[in-house]
Amino acid sequence: MDLAFTPEEQAFREEIRAWVRTHLPQDIAHKVHNALRLTKDDMQRWAKILGAKGWLGYGWPREFGGPGWNAVQKHLFEEECALAGAPRIVPFGPVMVAPVIMAFGSKEQQQRFLPGIASGEVWWSQGYSEPGSGSDLASLKTRAERVGDKYIVNGQKTWTTLGQYGDWMFNLVRTSTEGKPQTGISFLLLDMKSPGVTVRPIKLLDGECEVNEVFFDNVEVPADQLIGEENKGWTYAKHLLSHERTNIADVNRAKRELERLKRIAKAEGVWDDMRFRDQIALLEVDIVALEMLVLRVLSMEKSGKNPLDIAGLLKIRGSEIQQRYAELMMLAAGPFALPFIEEAMEAGWQGDFPGGVAANAPLASTYFNLRKTTIYGGSNEVQRNIVAQTVLG
């Protein structure tokens, strides 16, 4: 197995690096490097810049307007974006629902929905989880009843990330109660501006409203917004989740945040403490090991093998690492990381931070926020069950 990059791959990396450094707005990069709050405009501005270049759908094949990059090129693109301080691409459109529309949607659906996703104009949300149906997703109850050429949707979704900005939502809905729960689920695209849709933000520990509850009250959805066949939605949902989990490993962000941790440790004086440096070294070893795992997956993909059965492992290790660097940043800043000042998340905040370094004020918020990573995209406990079944046998 060859884990080194070829000269062509290195040249590709240089090309991406130069382009990203020229086109990424500096005010956005500043916010990302300092973990400050990103607005909808920040996220969408970068998405549209990528969209205009044809790179928002960086994983897409050429036939659908993507760059047709192979797995290594996609990895290099992600790495260069992360290291430059680009915001993570909001995955619901380009990374999650687009591959489903390409694989299972009709020609009309592809022509109707893919251009708005590729350009970054249309914001998508994910409607899978419900109260009581998270890990046990197949038990979901939101009902879609076929009446003529429409579905009438009633029920509730929850934990809908950034759903307050959503134009469209892809949903798993129950269309049958016959047989196994998985066989009565369908995959429906829904316009969030439709009458009967209510979005209610959930305020989290870090003060952000990153997630929402979404209620459907007799929402009419044209039947031509059903993907594939009725009651086959579970198959399409699984296709999508495999994309979500690989994306969640986010080793490139971990590399960027490791450098931030070192900066904080030096500024706070704990860099001179051998015990603290040991902790950073252990984290760095784990990040390098995760990167090797990602490169092994890429190498397998290059040689035509299917590596997706270790997607769960990537998710488990990636999310644990994210939580660890946030913890170490808090420890490095010591008591000055403790006060939680919500306004400090805004760029240009000049408020009072008695005795501490103002740049450390957002640390508590990052720490709280990253508690989510071992839960979303399928909790780590459930991922371990899957790894036990698929990898260990």
Question: What's the closest the beta carbon of residue 335 comes to ligand FAD, in angstroms?
Answer: 28
Comparing CB distances to ligand FAD, the nearer of 73 and 369 is 369
Q: What's the min distance (Å) between Cβ of 210 and ligand FAD?
A: 6
**Cβ proximity to ligand FAD, 134 vs 356, nearer residue:** 134
Question: Nearer Cβ to ligand FAD, position 128 or 325?
Answer: 128
Indicate the residue among 215 and 376 with the shorter CB distance to ligand FAD: 376
Q: Which residues of 243-260 are buried (b: 16+ CB within 10 A; e: fewer)?
A: bbbbbbbbbbbbbbbbeb
Q: Quick one: 92 or 113, whose CB is closer to ligand FAD?
A: 92
CB of 322 to ligand FAD, least distance (A): 12
Q: How many CB atoms lie within 10 A of CB 231?
A: 17
Residue closest to ligand FAD when measured from CB atoms: 134
| Distance separating alpha carbons of residues 276 and 265, to the nearest angstrom | 9
Residue 47 to residues 24, 42, 106, 269: CA-CA distances in angstroms?
Answer: 10, 9, 26, 38
The dihedral sign for the CA sequence 345, 350, 354, 356: positive
| Smallest separation (angstroms) from ligand FAD to the CB of 101 | 17
CA dist., res. 15 & res. 9, Å (int): 10
* Three-state DSSP class for residue 213: strand
Least distance in angstroms from the C-beta of 129 to ligand FAD? 3
Distance CA 372, CA 227 (A): 30
Measure the CA–CA gap between 203 and 328, rounded to whole angstroms.
Answer: 25
- Positions in the binding site for ligand FAD (CB under 6 A): 126-129, 134-135, 159-161, 211, 372, 375-376, 378-379, 381-382, 385
